[in-house]
Amino acid sequence: MESSSIDLDSSGERVESGLGLAVFRGDTGELPLETRRVFVQLLLGPSLDAQRQSKLWPVLLRDERVLRARLHELFLELVIDHDQQVAFTRQVVDPEVDVPILLRKATLTFIQSALLLYLREQLTQADARGERAVVSCEEMIEHLAVFEPERNADRAKFARQTQGAVDRAVQLNLIRKLRGGEDRYEVSPTLKLLFPAEEIQELARTYSRLSERAARGELTERDWDDAVASEEP
């Protein structure tokens, strides 16, 4: 039997073919539109979760096998945490295979890392209470203020760095602004999966030492320059 081809009819409607449904003119893909949306979200990252992408989550679970296979073709592993209802991709690592690297780790400044550590702590505390982790922009900025050197000659620059850390967390989808929340944000549960316990402990020790020095007025601009690699132009 002759197989049909994928195309759109003259009205622009999708035409069913032997491979599936065409999404656009000349489409040779085999995945349904909703499955492709899940695939793209996983590639965009950093995660897909049931709460924020409620329409995509059941598609992910339904098509897990085919999505996992497609990601393997890109040397990516699909990670699904069913308890937290979060999924993300990570690079396949195999010492016997020269794996091309598709995913690149996001480079964070010291102040951005300090904010993510704070957000992760808020997430852990909220989970213990059985609540969603919600923080305000003011709370995040106030927490980061402890890292400002006692005799900072450029307070405007520090303010830009702290606000930039919040903006970076939004960009990475690690916090999401709540509707009508007056600059309040919900923390993504992905943070618990992206930061290994060992890494968190090391970061916590570093920030604790710097916080104590800052509280005693001993944190200097040289300490700051040693700790943070500014991304400002």
Cα three-residue angle 138-139-143, rounded to 5 degrees? 115
Higher pLDDT: 39 or 116? It is 39
Give a yes or no: residue 19 inside a domain: no
Average pLDDT of 40-68?
Answer: 91
Pairwise CA distance, residues 180 & 161, whole Å: 26
Are both 162 and 194 inside the same structural domain?
A: yes
Give a yes or no: residue 21 inside a domain: no
Q: Tell me what pLDDT residue 110 has.
A: 77
Are both 219 and 124 inside the same structural domain?
A: yes
Are both 52 and 133 inside the same structural domain?
A: no
The domain in which residue 185 lies consists of 110-225
Token pair of 10 as six digits: 């003259």
Quote the mean pLDDT of the chain. Answer: 77
Give a yes or no: residue 84 inside a domain: yes
pLDDT at residue 185 greater than cutoff 70 = yes
Structural domain total, the chain: 2
pTM over 0.85: no
Q: What is the CATH number of the domain that holds 179?
A: 1.10.10
Are both 200 and 124 inside the same structural domain?
A: yes
Weakest-pLDDT range from 16-20, 158-162, 169-173: 16-20
Pairwise CA distance, residues 112 & 142, whole Å: 14
User: In terms of C-beta density within 10 A (0-12 exposed, 13-18 middle, 19 or more buried), how is residue 216 classed?
Assistant: exposed
Are both 117 and 221 inside the same structural domain?
A: yes
Q: Tell me what pLDDT residue 211 has.
A: 64
Q: Which of 59, 91, 123 is the last residue of a domain?
A: 91
91 band by pLDDT with thresholds 50, 70 and 90: confident
Pairing of strands 175-177, 134-136: unpaired
Please report, for residues 11, 79, 83, 128, 187, the alpha-carbon distance to residue 193 in angstroms, rounded to integers and kept in the order given: 46, 10, 12, 16, 13
Give a yes or no: residue 164 inside a domain: yes
Q: To 10 degrees, the CA torsion angle through 162, 164, 168, 171?
A: 140
Are both 130 and 217 inside the same structural domain?
A: yes
Give a yes or no: residue 173 inside a domain: yes
